[in-house]
DNA sequence: ATGACGGTGTGGCACCGA
């Protein structure tokens, strides 16, 4: 079983690249962020033609998330229950796998803009609500994956210039503490279960030739529950799509589970 | 370096992302 997450920065623009990538990298499900599409404009037909069931939760211009899967998802949830939010940032669903079903939560965490901004306050409130909801989800779904664009670089080794970024958005102690609180629920950062190339990033600024200079951040993550951890076989960032013409500024992250375990 | 690039909406640009 393979899962992936990708901030596509406009699905309308990136649909051909997404389909191309999915063709070359067969996954069982993928969560998308920043689709920037209202649900009436979501490309269900194009995806279905390639065999993808899609659950979408979008809005105009900003945000928007989706869950694509080979098998239809069940128990679909939009945003964090009980947390009033006019921004479309979360989609969850249960997808059947070879070793039992997996609860998938796809999330587009708020950017936060700057540590002294109202948007940062919202980011903290949003993460508080996510934390509490994920705890209840874990209770009902021990096999759970929380993945998406977290907009947090958890450690200095996830930042190309930790000195310049110290205390800046994505690197504040508050955001990193929130990330640790999620791990404390019994989740593990799948990427760090394995030896990885140094300077592994999932996002590079469009400006400044950042990709060419490999100046980036690792802010897209896949967290897996304790019940799934023994079955994690690999996790990697595929930076190849960042080399495309007109790429997303984010690269997909992929996790593979050992599917040969007891069903 | 109040910069840069790219997407959106709808506009002659502003706003947002990270």
CA→C1' distance for A201 and B9 (Å): 31
Tokens for A181, please give them: 């609180």
Span A103-120, average pLDDT: 95
pTM equals 0.96
Q: Which of residues 56-85 of A touch strand B (CB under 7 A)?
A: 60-62
Q: Tokens 């790429």 correspond to what residue?
A: A247
pLDDT tens per residue, range A200-229: 999 999 999 999 999 999 999 999 999 999
Share of chain A above pLDDT 90, in %: 97
Q: Where are the alpha helices (DSSP H) in chain A?
A: 11-24, 44-49, 118-140, 162-165, 173-184
Whole-angstrom Cα distance, residue A183 to residue A181?
5
Instruction: Please pick, among A28, A85, A132, A149, the residue that the annotation labels catalytic.
Output: A149
Residue A260's pLDDT is 55
Whole-angstrom Cα distance, residue A168 to residue A161?
11
Burial class of A132 by CB neighbour count within 10 A (0 to 12, 13 to 18, 19+) = middle
Residue A98's pLDDT is 77
Q: Tokens 């992929």 correspond to what residue?
A: A254
Q: Tokens 């080794």 correspond to what residue?
A: A157
Whether the CB of A169 is less than 7 Å away from nucleic strand B comes out as: yes
Whether the CB of A246 is less than 7 Å away from nucleic strand B comes out as: yes
Tokens for A51, please give them: 């065999």
Whether the CB of A34 is less than 7 Å away from nucleic strand B comes out as: yes
Nucleotide nearest to A10 (CA to C1'): B7
Confidence bin at A263 (pLDDT 50/70/90): very low
Report whether pLDDT(A141) > 60.
yes
Give the DSSP per-residue string, A77-126.
EES-TT---SS--EEEEEE--BTB-EEEEEEE----SSTTSHHHHHHHHH
Whether the CB of A208 is less than 7 Å away from nucleic strand B comes out as: yes
- The average confidence (pLDDT) of chain A is 96
- Residue A221's closest CA among A178, A260, A259? A178
Burial class of A60 by CB neighbour count within 10 A (0 to 12, 13 to 18, 19+) = exposed
Comparing A259 with A137, which gets the higher pLDDT? Answer: A137
If you count them, how many residues does chain A have?
263
A214: left (phi over 0), alpha (psi -120 to 50) or beta: left
pLDDT tens per residue, range A7-24: 999 999 999 999 999 999
Instruction: Please pick, among A39, A40, A108, A205, the residue that the annotation labels catalytic.
Output: A108
A149 is catalytic: yes
CA→C1' distance for A61 and B6 (Å): 13
Whether the CB of A117 is less than 7 Å away from nucleic strand B comes out as: no
pLDDT tens per residue, range A53-68: 999 999 999 999 999 9
Tokens for A194, please give them: 């394995």
Whether the CB of A111 is less than 7 Å away from nucleic strand B comes out as: yes
Confidence bin at A97 (pLDDT 50/70/90): confident
Tokens for A255, please give them: 């996790």
Report whether pLDDT(A175) > 70.
yes
pLDDT tens per residue, range A222-254: 999 999 999 999 999 999 999 999 999 999 999
């Amino acid at each position: 079983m393979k899962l992936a997450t990708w901030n596509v920065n406009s699905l309308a623009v990136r649909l051909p690249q997404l389909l191309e990538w999915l063709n070359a990298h067969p996954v069982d499900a993928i969560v998308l962020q920043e689709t920037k599409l209202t649900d009436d404009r979501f490309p269900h037909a194009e995806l279905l033609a390639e065999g993808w069931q899609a659950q979408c939760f979008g809005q105009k211009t900003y945000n928007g998330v989706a869950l694509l899967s080979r098998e239809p998802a069940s128990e679909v949830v939009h945003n964090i229950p009980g947390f009033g939010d006019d921004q479309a940032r979360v989609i969850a669903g249960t997808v059947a796998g070879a070793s039992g079903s997996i609860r998938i939560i796809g999330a587009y965490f708020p950017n936060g803009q700057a540590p002294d901004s109202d948007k940062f306050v919202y980011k903290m409130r949003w993460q508080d609500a996510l934390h509490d909801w994920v705890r209840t989800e874990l209770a009902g779904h021990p096999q759970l994956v929380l993945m998406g664009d977290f907009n947090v670089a958890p450690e200095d080794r996830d930042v190309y210039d930790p000195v310049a970024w110290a205390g800046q958005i994505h690197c504040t102690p508050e955001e990193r503490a929130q990330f640790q609180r999620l791990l404390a629920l019994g989740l593990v950062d799948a990427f760090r279960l394995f030896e990885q190339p140094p300077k592994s990033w999932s996002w590079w600024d469009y400006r400044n030739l950042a990709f060419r200079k490999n100046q980036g951040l690792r802010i897209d993550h896949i967290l897996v529950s304790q019940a799934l951890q023994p079955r994690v076989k690999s996790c990697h960032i595929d930076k190849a799509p960042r080399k495309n013409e007109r790429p997303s500024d984010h690269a997909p992250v992929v996790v593979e589970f050992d599917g040969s375990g007891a069903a």
